[in-house]
Amino acid sequence: EVQVLQSGAEVKKPGATVKISCNVSGYTFSDYYIHWVQQAPGKGLEWVGLIDPEDGDTVYAENFQGRVTIIADTSTETAYMKLSSLRSEDTALYYCATVLKSGGGALNNWGQGTLITVSS
């Protein structure tokens, strides 16, 4: 059974940088892309970006380009999302999800979400 476990909530000041993690188990890490999705309070889902853990290739959404970095550690089967220059609008739940490389782009398994709060 695939499991996606994310790190705990973070509180940061404006301008700071945050790094959250996503550990996946129960399948071959390199068979999936790892995605991050933002959900602001009371709002919908917004795609942040993805990484191919096999070679480290990334694709970022235009809205987050330049501020987000996604990396993967294959030895621990853990992906990380770093978001810099934080502002109040970044306050949101951030979900990690897996996408089978051989599939049609569906986010099959989701983590429980990590709440990032940006406040002075």
Partner 1 sequence: YVLTQPPSVSVAPGETATITCGGDNIGSYNVHWYQQKAGQAPVLVVHDGDDRPSGIPERFSGTNSGNTATLTISRVEAGDEADYYCQVWDSFRDQSYVFGIGTKVTVL
Residues in the chain: 120
Least separation in angstroms between residue 44's CB and partner 1 is 4
- Give the DSSP per-residue string, 27-84: S-GGGEEEEEEEE-TT--EEEEEEE-TTT--EEE-TTTTTTEEEEEETTTTEEEEEE-
Task: Determine which residue in the list 20, 51, 111, 118 makes contact with partner 1, applying CB under 8 A.
Answer: 111
Task: Determine which residue in the list 8, 13, 75, 104 makes contact with partner 1, applying CB under 8 A.
Answer: 104
Q: Which two tokens stand for residue 101?
A: 């490389």
The binding track of 11-50 with respect to partner 1, each residue x by CB under 8 A or -, is ------------------------x-x------xxxx--x
The answer to whether 108 contacts partner 1 (rule: CB under 8 A) is: yes
Can you tell me the distance from the alpha carbon of 116 to that of 6, in angstroms, rounded to the nearest whole number? 12
- The site for partner 1, by CB under 8 A, has a size of 21
From 9-17, 24-32, 74-82, 111-119, give the range in contact with partner 1 by CB under 8 A: 111-119
Query: What is the per-residue burial (b if ≥16 Cβ within 10 Å, else e) of 87-100?
Result: eeebbbbbbbbbbe
Question: Applying CB under 8 A, which residues contact partner 1?
Answer: 35, 37, 44-47, 50, 59, 61-62, 95, 103-108, 110-113
